[in-house]
């Protein structure tokens, strides 16, 4: 209720079918999410292969190529190499490879279909045996094995790469305090800012094993 306007009533607005928003609609919706006007409690789709609103949910760094002029076949191991920093002692880095369907293509118009997705907790950047804290603000290298795929990106589609730091509720939230996520309490949760470095010194990139036609 706003001061001086006693007739106003706090209202919860449910926005359903977010996965059917096209890019322009999501772009228009994002500022209102960032301002706090709308809050996502948990937006999902019945088909886990379709990317919904990751950029909205976590303000992901999104990189999209121009529409392909010919089919591109990716077969084999995909790797991502990130150079990144965080203001916390720990965080998650998630990389997704996505096939973006062209707009105006009928029922699948604008769909973002995830091909691969993988998460690397920063504390395990040197291996899963020992949890090592991150030095806040320091740019570190993160090698993310995204496993193998056999996928053809069709002509007119676009290749998208998303880098984000949360995949909740599919992946448990990282408290970003070096505490085991499954043992963390509310008091262990920390806010953090992650930055992806991109320069000749810090060549963040993704390796795609492309099969020549």
Q: Would you give the DSSP letter of residue 20?
A: G
pLDDT in single tens digits along all 213 residues of the chain: 444 545 545 555 555 555 556 666 666 766 666 555 665 544 444 444 444 455 555 556 777 889 999 999 999 999 999 999 999 999 999 999 999 999 886 788 888 899 999 999 999 999 999 999 999 999 999 999 999 999 999 999 999 999 988 888 788 889 999 999 999 999 999 989 999 998 999 999 999 999 987
Q: What is the pTM of this model?
A: 0.73
- Rounded CA gap, 202 and 196, in Å? 9
Number of neighbouring beta carbons within 10 Å of residue 86: 23
- Rounded CA gap, 108 and 165, in Å? 27
- Rounded CA gap, 119 and 187, in Å? 24
CA dihedral 77, 82, 21, 74 (to 10 degrees): -20
Strand partners, 159: 99
Residue 205 token pair: 């990139």
- Rounded CA gap, 205 and 37, in Å? 35
Class level of CATH domain 18-211: mainly beta
Number of neighbouring beta carbons within 10 Å of residue 59: 14
Contacting residues for 67 by C-beta, under 8 A, at least 6 apart: 102, 156, 157, 158
- Rounded CA gap, 21 and 42, in Å? 16
First to last CA, the chain: 63
**Host H or E run for residue 99:** strand 92-100
Instruction: Give pLDDT, residue 19.
Output: 55
134 to 85, 88, 124, 184, 192: CA distances (angstroms): 9, 7, 10, 18, 12
Alpha helical stretches, state H, the chain: 23-34, 54-58
Instruction: Give pLDDT, residue 38.
Output: 61
């Amino acid at each position: 209720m706003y001061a001086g306007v006693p007739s106003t009533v706090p209202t919860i607005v449910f926005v359903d079918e977010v996965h059917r928003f096209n890019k322009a609609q999501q772009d228009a919706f994002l500022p209102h999410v960032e301002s706090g006007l709308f809050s996502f409690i948990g937006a999902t789709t019945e088909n886990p292969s379709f990317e919904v609103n990751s950029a909205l949910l976590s303000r992901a760094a999104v990189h999209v190529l121009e529409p392909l002029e010919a089919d591109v076949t990716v077969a084999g191991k995909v790797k991502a190499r990130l150079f990144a920093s965080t203001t916390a002692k720990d965080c998650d880095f998630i990389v997704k490879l996505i096939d973006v369907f062209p707009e105006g293509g009928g029922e699948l118009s604008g769909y973002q279909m995830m091909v691969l997705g993988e998460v690397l907790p920063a504390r395990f950047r040197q291996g899963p045996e020992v949890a090592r804290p991150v030095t806040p603000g320091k740019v570190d290298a993160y090698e993310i094995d995204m496993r193998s795929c056999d996928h053809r990106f069709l002509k007119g589609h676009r290749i998208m790469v998303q880098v984000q730091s949360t995949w909740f509720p599919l992946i448990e939230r990282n408290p970003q305090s070096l505490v085991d996520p499954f043992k963390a309490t509310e008091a262990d949760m920390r806010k953090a800012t992650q930055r992806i470095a991109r320069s000749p010194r810090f060549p963040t990139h993704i390796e795609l094993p492309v099969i020549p036609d």
